[in-house]
């Protein structure tokens, strides 16, 4: 058995898939989650896949005393993967203080406790949103591209958190960190025991697509068909959540086991390929054989026209590569939606 890893937000979409991959790689996992946007039953799904039940504590990372209690209870924790955060762009515009409070305090609390409890490394969930709309010369975007002023408080919390980590480590804190900038995570575990469970009307494309396909939503709107792209719709780099989860295992191995790596490193985690919204919608129909009711609608405020990642650094340095085929990824999302229906959840 390898080291123990604390996964904050471990019952969430990316956190649950990462817990599975960590366990399958031999790590012991302790999950903490305040269940504000997920359910404790996700732990059952993880156990069904791996045969191992991760430890679970319902704790909010903003509650310093409760968080310290977790480190005291599990003294073997040597690494953290920090997913727990509020993540709805629109909501962050309406409730900025909630976002700054949740997303900044939770990281600060973790960083403060790490040296005291001998925790060596932290992997932080950042986002390609920090690049804003990269200029034409900067596409596919590398980690060196300029950071642009965030378009939402959510995006700003990602930028500020990256800076907090950099500043803390440069101050001499005895920890290491890897910052992962995700592109657009999609899909579900092939077993359909875990997946994405949006609260209310989904904001993200794939849950809206699958909910439309199954009849929960009447019609999918494709936001904007007059962008400066081949088919006029936006372009994103859609990364399979299981591939993304595996990137965290590589990052954890590097942070805990590589002596000579820099104390803070940043990696893009994507496929390196851009797909238009229309390509995804048509790809879904082709991959699943399900017809979607969709129409073009006006642009969505704040949307970036096109962004996809240069992932050479992650390929070379982490030894990680996105492997899934988009058809399989879209089928996994559909299988998950069908499972939710069969279980009477959605």
> Given the rule CB under 6 A, which residues bind ligand UD1?
87, 89, 127-129, 184, 203-205, 208, 220-223, 234, 236, 277, 300, 303-304, 307
Residue 217 Cβ vs ligand UD1, minimum distance, rounded to whole Å: 9
Q: Which is nearer to ligand UD1, 81 or 307 (CB)?
A: 307
CA distance 7 to 21: 12
Q: Which is nearer to ligand UD1, 89 or 165 (CB)?
A: 89
CB count within 10 Å of CB 130 equals 21
Residue 222 Cβ vs ligand UD1, minimum distance, rounded to whole Å: 4
Q: Which residue is nearest to ligand UD1 (CB)?
A: 234
Residue 190 Cβ vs ligand UD1, minimum distance, rounded to whole Å: 21
* Contact (CB, 8 A) for 219 and 83: no
Residue 231 Cβ vs ligand UD1, minimum distance, rounded to whole Å: 12
CA distance 256 to 262: 12
Six token digits for residue 118 = 């001998």
- What residues act catalytically? 154
Q: Which is nearer to ligand UD1, 121 or 274 (CB)?
A: 274
Sign of CA dihedral 218, 223, 226, 229: negative
Q: Which is nearer to ligand UD1, 49 or 179 (CB)?
A: 179
Q: Which is nearer to ligand UD1, 68 or 303 (CB)?
A: 303
Whether residue 140 has a cis bond before it, omega within 30° of 0 = yes
Six token digits for residue 121 = 């490394």
Residue 1 Cβ vs ligand UD1, minimum distance, rounded to whole Å: 33
Q: Which is nearer to ligand UD1, 104 or 304 (CB)?
A: 304
Residue 117 Cβ vs ligand UD1, minimum distance, rounded to whole Å: 30
């Amino acid at each position: 058995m390898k080291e123990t890893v604390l996964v904050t937000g471990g019952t969430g979409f990316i956190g649950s898939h990462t817990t599975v991959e960590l366990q399958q790689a031999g790590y012991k996992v302790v999950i903490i989650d305040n269940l504000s946007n997920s359910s404790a039953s996700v732990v059952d799904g993880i156990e069904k896949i791996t045969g191992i039940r991760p430890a679970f504590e319902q704790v909010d990372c903003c509650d310093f005393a409760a968080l310290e209690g977790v480190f005291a209870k599990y003294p073997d924790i040597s690494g953290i993967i920090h997913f727990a955060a509020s993540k709805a762009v629109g909501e962050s515009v309406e409730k900025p203080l909630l976002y700054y409070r949740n997303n900044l305090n939770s990281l600060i609390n973790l960083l403060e406790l790490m040296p005291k409890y001998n925790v060596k490394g932290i992997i932080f969930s950042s986002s390609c949103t920090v690049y804003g709309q990269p200029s034409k010369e900067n596409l596919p975007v590398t980690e060196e591209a300029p950071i642009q002023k965030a378009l939402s408080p959510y995006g700003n919390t990602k930028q500020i958190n990256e800076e907090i980590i950099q500043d803390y480590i440069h101050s001499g804190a005895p920890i290491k960190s890897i910052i992962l900038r995700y592109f657009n995570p999609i899909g579900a575990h092939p077993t359909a025991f875990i997946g994405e469970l949006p609260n209310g009307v989904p904001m993200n494309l794939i849950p809206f697509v699958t909910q439309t396909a199954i009849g929960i939503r009447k019609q999918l709107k494709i936001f904007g068909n007059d962008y400066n792209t081949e088919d006029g719709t936006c372009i994103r780099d859609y990364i399979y959540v299981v591939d993304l989860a595996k990137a965290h295992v590589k990052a954890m191995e590097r942070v805990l086991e590589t002596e000579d790596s820099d104390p803070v490193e940043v990696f893009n985690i994507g496929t390196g390929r851009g797909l238009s919204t229309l390509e995804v919608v048509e790809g879904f129909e082709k991959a699943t054989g399900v017809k979607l009711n969709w129409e073009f609608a006006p642009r969505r405020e704040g949307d970036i026209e096109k962004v996809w990642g240069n992932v050479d650094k992650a390929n070379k340095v982490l030894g990680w590569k996105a492997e899934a085929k988009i058809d399989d990824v879209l089928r996994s999302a559909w299988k998950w939606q069908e499972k939710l229906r069969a279980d009477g959840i959605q």
